Structures are given as C-alpha cells and as structure tokens.
Amino acid sequence: MGVETAAPVRLLTVSGSLQERSTNRAALEAAATFARPLAVTVEDFGRLAELPAFDPDRSDEAIEVVEDWRRQVASADVILVAAPEYAGALAGAVKNAFDWLVGSGELYRKAVAVISAGTSGGVHARRMLAQTLTWQGAYVVAELGIAAARTKFDPDGRLTDDATAAEIAAVTHMLVAAATSPSRDVVARATQVVGELGIDAGHVAPAA
C-alpha cells in the first residue's frame, strides 16, 4: 500500500522594492525561512523592473516577461508581496505588475499576504495593495506593517528583532494554511482582513 504525501505548497514571493538594500526583500527572505520547514517550495519573481508600463492595447501581446509573470502567479498556490510605501501610496512598480493580471485573471481566488516595511509601516501602501488584489479576486488573508524597518534588520538583511520575527512567522503560517483551508474559511478570513483595512468586503470573491 502506497503512502500518500501531500504536494508541497508553492509560495511565490514578490518584492515591490527595486533597490538593492531592501527591507521588504529582507522581510520576504525571513518569511521564506519560516515557510520552508512547512513543506513549502519558495519561488521569487524578481523581474518587476523589466515589466513594461501596463498598456491595455498590449494586453494580448506575447511579451516574454509578462508571460513569465502570469505563469508564475498562475502556478503559485499562495503569494506573499512585500512593498514599500512611497509618498503615501503603494510603490508604482507593484501596481504596474498587478495591472498586467487584470484581464488574464491569474489572481482569482488566490490567497495572498501583504507586507509593507519602511519608515511608517506603510498603512496606505497595504490598504491600496489589499484593495487592488481584492478587486482582482485574490483573498488577502494576512497583512503586516513593519515600521522603522531599518532598525529590525542588520546591514546584511538578517532579521534581528524577535517581535518582528514572530509577526512575519505568523503571516507566513496564515498564508500557507490558506492553501489547504476550505474556501469558505479563506473567504471569511479575507473578509475580516480587508474589513479591518477599511476596504468594502463586498468585493471579496465568493467561495468556490
């Protein structure tokens, strides 16, 4: 009699910061270290800067990096996005990347978690990101702001703050659990998370 083993959960990480020394990137790397012991395979989409500015006229064009982005999102079970806030709004590179998915629909019913690391913890960036993800049908099941982020990672990007480590671990566990949770539980969780961010929960996609 064969022993059935569950397929590993596929986690895609996306950093919205393009600068080399990035606290958002560091937060994703910390999350990946928490995820791997949970039988999770971690892939990173590191090509945000290569994506052209979104143009609906080019939506059906065979643009290699756009196809790669859509393929990686489609094949992920869950997605973790960490993005900075710039001038009180979501970093534009991230919004641009997700605009490429509006017509093709890879985010529909996909569980996503949102982090913003930076000076303030980026509540505006988190709210905007959660809103656009929700409007595309994704389930935002966890979100986290990391304020004064440069004090919480060392210059090599290693997490040095225990409370932040616990918070990133909790977000990671919640996201990974969503991959195998009943759809109605994921919807209930997303409804709670986006409601707390002041987003109309009427936009949360119905359970499968």
Q: How many residues bind ligand FMN (CB under 6 A)?
A: 16
The sign one gets for the Cα dihedral 74, 78, 84, 85 is positive
At residue 149, what are phi and psi to the nearest 5 degrees? -60, -30
Q: Are 160 and 154 contacting, i.e. CB atoms less than 8 angstroms apart?
A: yes
Q: Does an H or E element contain 195, and which?
A: helix 183-196
Among 31, 118, 132, 190, binds ligand FMN (CB under 6 A): 118
CA 113 – CA 121 distance, rounded (Å): 15
Residue number, nearest CB to ligand FMN = 118
Which secondary structure element, helix H or strand E, spans residue 112, and what is its range? strand 111-117
| Shortest Å, Cβ 151 to ligand FMN | 11
Residue 115 is given by DSSP the state E
**Per-residue contact string for residues 71-100; x = within reach of ligand FMN by CB under 6 A:** -------------xxxxx------------
40 φ/ψ sector (left φ>0, alpha ψ -120 to 50, else beta): beta
Interface mask (CB under 6 A) for ligand FMN, residues 123-162, using x and -?
Answer: --------------------------x-------------
Site for ligand FMN in 38-77 (CB under 6 A): none
Nearest CB to ligand FMN, comparing residues 53 and 87: 87
Q: Which is nearer to ligand FMN, 25 or 110 (CB)?
A: 25
CB of 85 to ligand FMN, least distance (A): 4
Distance from C-alpha of 207 to C-alpha of 205, rounded to nearest angstrom: 7
When binding is defined by CB under 6 A, the residue of 33, 104, 120, 181 that contacts ligand FMN is 120
Contacting residues toward ligand FMN, per CB under 6 A: 17, 19, 22-24, 84-88, 117-120, 122, 149
